């Protein structure tokens, strides 16, 4: 029993890193522009299909190289989409109500999902050579068995978070992003281009979502359900950790992953389907105790 529980905790931590990467898409845009990006699930979905499409070209004999090429080509498109999204959809709405910006992200999500369905349909797909890249036989580490997709996704997520945390805390871009999040007007008076910060934030959000699409596509197959799965895990993870905290995004994802794979798996044997609502139960419990999330910035407004 103890060994089984330990296995579930390890799998939960591995899954939590994926949730943390998706939550990063929420955190970046909220931190800079106080924008809740409802389109994140559909960004994850599009990323999975783009990686699949480029990998299917089979430009080399190696499935691993083809998958990396697919990820690289999809990332280039993600950069382009980040620029186009900010300049054509979001920028005309700056100065309007937050609700108008949120509704635009809803429209963006529907647009991305509609394009994906028109282009690739709704048939379940898998990445070309996926079983060679992620062998079906789990990696044995002592008494623990880990699927290879969890191993590589965890390593990739740690590298990504380390890279982003370095950027946020040690570079001028990170300083500019923090300045814009605290006071856009003051940042602008000191020569910081707020529009460029918004563009870069959207680019990073797309890249993080596309990477999550690769992992979720390898775990669950590439299908429309990735969109719902992405939103239903990314949003709770971001709110649990604190929607303006990059570190909180990772820790919120880890906490959510562990609870989902331990408590959710256990209860699912008695109440089928209950694991699907576990993220929102955890979210409600955390927000009741800490309305700004575990690591979010508490704001006190005087009336």
Beta carbons of 34 and 100 less than 8 angstroms apart: no
Report in angstroms the alpha-carbon separations of 227 from 10, 36, 200, 209, 286: 25, 16, 23, 11, 24
Percent of the chain scored above 70 by pLDDT?
A: 96
Residue 135 is predicted with a pLDDT of 77
Residue 98 is predicted with a pLDDT of 84
Q: What is the mean pLDDT of residues 96-102?
A: 87
Q: Nearest to residue 257, comparing CAs of 141, 165, 157, 162?
A: 157
- Is it the case that residue 283 has pLDDT exceeding 70? yes
pLDDT digits (tens, 9 = 90+) for 25-40: 788 888 887 888 889 9
Give the integer Cα–Cα distance in Å for 80 and 82: 5
Residues whose CB is less than 8 angstroms from the CB of residue 85 and which lie 6 or more positions away in sequence, other chains included: 108, 202, 206
Looking at residue 21, the DSSP 8-state letter turns out to be: H
Q: How many CB atoms lie within 10 A of CB 64?
A: 12
Average pLDDT, the chain: 84
Q: Is the dihedral of CA 55, 57, 59, 63 positive or negative?
A: positive
| Residue with the larger pLDDT of the pair 253 and 78 | 78
Report in angstroms the alpha-carbon separations of 287 from 76, 168, 243, 301: 37, 26, 12, 18
pLDDT digits (tens, 9 = 90+) for 240-278: 888 878 888 888 888 888 888 888 778 777 877 777 788
- Is it the case that residue 290 has pLDDT exceeding 90? no
Q: Per DSSP, what are the bridge partners of residue 144?
A: 141
Task: Return the half-sphere exposure (C-beta side, CA atoms, 13 A cut-off) of residue 270.
Answer: 4
Residue 81 is predicted with a pLDDT of 96
- Is it the case that residue 153 has pLDDT exceeding 80? no
Residues whose CB is less than 8 angstroms from the CB of residue 64 and which lie 6 or more positions away in sequence, other chains included: 129, 132, 133
Q: Is the dihedral of CA 93, 99, 103, 109 positive or negative?
A: positive
């Amino acid at each position: 029993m103890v060994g089984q529980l330990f296995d579930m905790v390890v799998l939960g931590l591995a899954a939590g890193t994926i949730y943390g990467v998706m939550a990063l898409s929420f955190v970046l845009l909220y931190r800079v522009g106080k924008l809740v990006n409802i389109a994140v699930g559909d960004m994850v979905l599009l990323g999975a299909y783009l990686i699949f499409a480029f990998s299917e070209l089979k430009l080399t004999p190696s499935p691993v190289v083809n998958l990396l090429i697919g990820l690289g080509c999809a990332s280039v498109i993600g950069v382009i989409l980040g620029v186009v999204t900010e300049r054509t959809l979001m920028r005309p709405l700056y100065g309007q109500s937050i609700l108008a910006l949120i509704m635009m992200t809803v429209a963006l999500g529907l647009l991305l999902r509609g394009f994906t369905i028109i282009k690739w349909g709704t048939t379940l797909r898998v990445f070309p050579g996926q079983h060679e890249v992620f062998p079906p036989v789990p990696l044995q580490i002592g008494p623990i068995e880990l699927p290879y997709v969890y191993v590589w996704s965890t390593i990739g997520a740690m590298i990504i978070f380390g890279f982003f945390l370095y950027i946020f805390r040690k570079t001028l871009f990170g300083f500019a992003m923090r300045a814009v999040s605290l006071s856009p007007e003051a940042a602008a008076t000191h020569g910081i281009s707020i529009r460029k910060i918004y563009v870069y934030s959207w680019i990073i959000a797309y890249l993080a979502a596309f990477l999550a699409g690769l992992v979720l596509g390898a775990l669950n197959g590439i299908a429309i359900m990735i969109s719902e799965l992405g939103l239903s895990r990314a949003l709770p993870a971001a709110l649990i950790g604190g929607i303006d905290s990059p570190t909180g995004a990772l820790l919120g994802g880890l906490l959510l992953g562990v609870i989902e794979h331990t408590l959710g798996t256990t209860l699912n044997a008695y109440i089928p389907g209950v694991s699907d609502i576990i993220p929102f139960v955890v979210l409600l419990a955390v927000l009741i105790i800490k309305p700004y999330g575990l690591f979010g910035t508490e704001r006190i407004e005087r009336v």
